[in-house]
Amino acid sequence: MEPIFLTQAPGRTVGPGRGPFAVLLLFCMALALCGCRTPAEYRQEADKTARQIIAEKQQEALGKTEPFSIERPKDILRRRLLEEQELQYSSEASLGTDRLEPIEHWPEADYPRAESSPDAEIPIEPNQPLKLSLIDALQIGARNSDEYQSRKEDVFRAAFALDVERNEFRNFFVSRISSAISADTTEGIGRSDARAEQDTSATARIDRTLKNGASLSAALAVDLANLLTQGGSSTIRLAADPSVSIPLLRGSGRHIVTEPLTQAERQVIYTIW
């Protein structure tokens, strides 16, 4: 990245050039704020994206969409039988993980959230045998099957993998603000002063990979301290670095570059089937 120097007369500020620099500063600050998210917010965004992908692939594979969730409900029939008919169980863990003491530093207080089960509509009478129809027994067995739950989680993992592959062809924004302070406290002959210097810079960068294999990149860096103070210096340090990379032999061609994405798209449909 080669620096570009904009010169000005000593003691004078650059009038027209301050506008673009201010925009750059605001842009860097906005990117920095966008990256300040909690783990819970990142998880919620990932879950939302996965559900959107599943709904899209359900329509493509089945011609319709259905509600989909991997959250296990708390009011399952087994738990209701234990509680409402006062049956014996060994510990609170037999009723569900929500009855256990929360571990320290759990990232989300209300996660996993409570889900309602269709089993809650089945009437249970104390000290009376429970009678189920064949259809009810099959549905209850499916909803409480570990194998069925594992298959649903496979669909969710396939949706996550597809989102990772799609992410390879999105815009990547990176912003960074760095500051360094250096001090010279040595004493020489006839000198007892201390000098301190501060270097503050801001960098904004964007990267994008196209489906034909070309990579685009652009970066802009500026001496932030000199820009804000406008004091004394006769130069404003500005560095720009645009670049384009196009593969000609190895890794070239749209069908080669997008092959992992194509396989990930198909895998979600296969898993739903």
Q: Quick check: is 59 in a domain?
A: yes
pLDDT at 226: 62
Q: Quick check: is 110 in a domain?
A: yes
Are 34 and 148 in a shared domain? yes
Are 37 and 88 in a shared domain? no
1 band by pLDDT with thresholds 50, 70 and 90: very low
Q: Quick check: is 157 in a domain?
A: yes
The pLDDT tens digits of the residues spanning 71-104 come to 888 888 888 889 888 889 998 888 888 888 888 8
Closest CA to 256 of 213, 216, 205, 198: 213
The CA dihedral of 248, 254, 256, 257, to the nearest 10 degrees, is 90
Neighbouring C-beta atoms of residue 257, cutoff 10 Å:
19
Are 128 and 28 in a shared domain? no
Are 91 and 151 in a shared domain? no
Are 120 and 234 in a shared domain? no
Q: Quick check: is 167 in a domain?
A: yes
pLDDT at 187: 61
Q: Quick check: is 191 in a domain?
A: no
The pLDDT tens digits of the residues spanning 7-63 come to 343 434 344 444 555 555 555 565 555 556 788 888 889 999 999 999 999 999 999
| Burial classification of residue 149, based on how many CB atoms lie within 10 Å of its CB (0-12 exposed, 13-18 middle, 19 or more buried) | middle
The pLDDT tens digits of the residues spanning 127-168 come to 888 899 999 999 889 888 889 999 999 999 999 999 999 999
Domain count, the chain: 2
Interatomic CA distance for residues 5 and 270, integer angstroms: 57
Neighbouring C-beta atoms of residue 137, cutoff 10 Å:
10
Q: Report the b/e string of 6-31 with b at 16+ CB within 10 A.
A: eeeeeeeeeeeeeeebeebbeebeeb
Q: C-alpha 223: how far from its chain's center? A: 30
Of the chain, the end-to-end C-alpha distance in Å amounts to 51
Q: Quick check: is 215 in a domain?
A: yes
Are 120 and 153 in a shared domain? no
| Residues 155, 187 contacting (CB under 8 angstroms) | no
109 band by pLDDT with thresholds 50, 70 and 90: confident
Contacts of 159 (CB under 8 A, 6+ apart): 49, 50, 51, 53, 54, 57, 268
Q: Which domain holds residue 123?
A: 77-139
